[in-house]
Amino acid sequence: MAKRNVIEEGNEILKKISEPITDFGVFLSNTILGDLRETFFRNGNGIGLAAPQIGINKRVIFISFFGTELEIINPKILEKSKEEEISEEGCLSIPNKKFLVKRSKEIRIEFFDRIKNKIEIKCDGLLARCIQHEIDHLDGILISEKGNDEKNKV
């Protein structure tokens, strides 16, 4: 695994729409997923990390949520609840800033795991918020574009 740094706001890769994974081979398992996991735990103060945040323009997300690790490949949001809530979010690519962002309270998503099993889950609360945040990264959207800057809430 390569040592990678989290790319910060201002880098053009964060504005690009990520490409889907088509090859579920060694490069995906050992490089993309391995580098995401290593970088996530080395930075250690978030819930999720998307491949563009480490310079890889692919639709891959790593989430560590209350001791459970999720590797989410080629995610698609199938359904969003009409009920939304505004909550504070931070981002490893925008250090030391928090934003108030409106998101759906519940989502249903479909994605693949590293061995190409198709998985569908319904989630709510913090996990739903995190997945929506990371999918925004895959679509080239940062929370600084979606939310209200709360500079005093560091």
Q: Which two tokens stand for residue 41?
A: 């735990």
Query: What topology does CATH give the domain 12-149?
Result: Peptide Deformylase (3.90.45)
pLDDT at 149: 63
CA distance 146 to 75: 20
Low-confidence ranges of the chain (pLDDT < 50): 151-154
Contact (Cβ atoms closer than 8 angstroms) between residue 99 and residue 143 = yes
* pTM (2 d.p.): 0.92
pLDDT at 131: 98
pLDDT at 27: 75
Contacts of 8 (CB under 8 A, 6+ apart): 93, 94, 95
CA distance 151 to 99: 8
Residue 134: active-site member:
yes
CB atoms within 10 A of CB 18: 21
Residue range 89-115, pLDDT digits in tens: 999 999 999 999 999 999 999 999 999
Contact (Cβ atoms closer than 8 angstroms) between residue 14 and residue 7 = yes
Of 38, 134, 145, 150, which one is the catalytic site residue?
Answer: 134
Q: Which two tokens stand for residue 1?
A: 């695994």
CA distance 146 to 87: 12
